Amino acid sequence: MEIKILGTGCPKCKTLEKLVIKVVDENNIDANVSKVDDIMQIMNYGIVSTPALVIDEKVVIKGRIPSEKEIKELLTK
């Protein structure tokens, strides 16, 4: 699984990144987590508000920080 956190480095983006890494580690999910902070790459996903969560090249959350439970549900379905 390929997970990307889209954001330019704001506090919300950093929080989302930490939450995703925590959920991946705690649940032994086989995933590569990366951070995309280049605004041009972010715009390629059609994102206008960050942070955003992309799983296997599909934008699943944008413009908000989801709960740990919601992240776990997205990563384990």
Domains of the chain plus CATH, in order, are: 2-76 (3.40.30.10)
Strand pairing report for 32-36 and 2-6: parallel
CA distance 9 to 16: 11
Segment holding 48, helix H or strand E: none
Phi and psi torsions of 51, nearest 5° = -80, 165
Of 1, 10, 39, 48, which one is the catalytic site residue?
Answer: 10
Say whether 1 sits in a helix, a strand or coil: coil
Tell me the pTM.
0.93
Of 13, 16, 20, 47, which one is the catalytic site residue?
Answer: 13
**Is 5 part of the annotated catalytic residue set?**
no
Render pLDDT for 33-67 as a digit per residue (tens, 0 to 9): 999 999 999 999 999 889 999 999 999 999 999 99
Render pLDDT for 7-21 as a digit per residue (tens, 0 to 9): 988 899 999 999 999
**Is 10 part of the annotated catalytic residue set?**
yes
